Amino acid sequence: MITRAHLIDVLFVIVPHSLLLDIAGPAEAFRLANQHRERRGQPPRFRLRFASHDAALSSSVGLQLAGLIPLPQKLTAPTWVVVVGQPTAHTTEVTPAITATAKWLNESLRQPLLDAGSPHRLITICSGSLLAARAGLLGGRRCTTHHELLSSLRALAPQAQVMDNRVIVVDGPVASSAGITAGIDIALHMIAEECGEALAASVAEDMVVYLRRSPRDAELSPFHMHRRHLHATVHRVQDAIITRPERDWDMAQLAAVGNSTERHLLRLFLEYACVSPLDYLRMIRLERARQSLEFGASVTRAAEVAGFRSGLQLRRAWGRQWGGSPRDAVRAARS
């Protein structure tokens, strides 16, 4: 934990066409964590290192990455190895660089990950889990990746427990994430474990991360579901619901936001969002209530924040949607 004397080496393993945000997002989070520790009179906790089979290569957006250190022959200091992802088009290309990197990962981490007392950890972002699977590091562990690559991960790691629809999955010394912005989430989660929730919250605030997601959050958030369409009216109404779910919405008010009749708005929602306006409202309210509960709110307060008239109404909606009760679900997730 934070009393250990040695810095933690956060070693980013870079391969050709690495997703730039997979590198920059988490790296900034760790940098800011050190900065906040300094402000609190504490020594830095993380040392950022960027290693590759090649000294220079091109990133996913064409930006050239140079000055990369060689993959170390041995992990000396406590090391968190961060394996970043590539665009989907490159994930099936088993180039000499990919083969060499997988070999290095296996030789450097296979045994330490089996040792309960090892200070080393493996963190994968997006398709980085595929490279970890090629290296034989996932075994029977729980893990995840970007939703478009789940079947590929299952094929490469048939013994692993690949989790669908998860932002982050942590199984012992192995942590995996769904991809791109989820790399920031997993960095904040690791910072919170090592340096405390308060410091991680300060880093999230600096990075303007609206809501820090946890291993309990789904990859496909209800705030993003039913929005893969281009109809401006439906988006406008959805934006109004998400912005103020606690408002006492009815169909007349929602139709006014969309400058349409109630009947026409219902038809538009069913056609483009595949859900009714009131069902969409209920989903958003339930998700807002779930988040409030996980951050310690009472059922009554969570109901109020989310727009339910009472705790009883929240419990009924929760039971119809997911079964059980709000408190039971939160306790189960935390355990």
Domain with 319 in it: what CATH number? 1.10.10.60
d(CA 91, CA 102): 13
Task: Tell me, yes or no, whether 214 lies in a domain.
Answer: no
pTM of the predicted model as reported, rounded to 2 decimal places: 0.69
Judged by DSSP in three states, 1 sits in coil
- Among the residue ranges 2-11, 21-30, 55-64, 267-276, the one predicted with the least confidence is 2-11
* Among 246, 177, 258, CA closest to 213: 177
**257-275 pLDDT per residue, tens:** 999 999 999 999 999 999 9
- Specify whether 193 is located in the same domain as 266: no
- Specify whether 200 is located in the same domain as 237: no
* Among 201, 207, 151, 149, CA closest to 178: 149
Q: What is the DSSP secondary-structure string of 285-305?
A: HHHHHHHHHHTT--HHHHHHH
* DSSP summary character for residue 10: E
121 DSSP β-pair partners: 80
Residue 35 CB neighbours (<10 A) = 14
- Specify whether 261 is located in the same domain as 329: yes
Task: Tell me, yes or no, whether 296 lies in a domain.
Answer: yes
Q: What is the DSSP secondary-structure string of 91-103?
A: TT---HHHHHHHH
Residue 331 CB neighbours (<10 A) = 11
Task: Tell me, yes or no, whether 321 lies in a domain.
Answer: yes
Residue 184 has pLDDT above 70, yes or no: yes
- Specify whether 202 is located in the same domain as 248: no
Residue 215 has pLDDT above 70, yes or no: no
> Which residue bears the tokens 């393993």?
13
Task: Tell me, yes or no, whether 294 lies in a domain.
Answer: yes
Task: Tell me, yes or no, whether 178 lies in a domain.
Answer: yes
- Specify whether 321 is located in the same domain as 190: no
Residue 15 has pLDDT above 70, yes or no: yes
123 DSSP β-pair partners: 82, 175
Pairing outcome for strands 64-65 and 174-177: unpaired
Residue 155 has pLDDT above 90, yes or no: yes
Task: Tell me, yes or no, whether 212 lies in a domain.
Answer: no
- Specify whether 157 is located in the same domain as 295: no
- Specify whether 108 is located in the same domain as 202: yes
| Residue 177 Cα to chain centre, angstroms | 5
Cβ-Cβ contacts under 8 Å for 146 (sequence gap 6 or more):
85, 88, 126, 127, 178, 179, 180
The total number of structural domains in the chain stands at 2
Residue 94: domain span = 8-206
- Specify whether 86 is located in the same domain as 129: yes
Judged by DSSP in three states, 23 sits in helix
Helix H or strand E segment including 135: none
- Specify whether 197 is located in the same domain as 239: no
| Whether 299 contacts 306, CB under 8 Å | no
**55-97 pLDDT per residue, tens:** 999 999 999 999 999 999 999 899 999 999 999 999 999 999 9
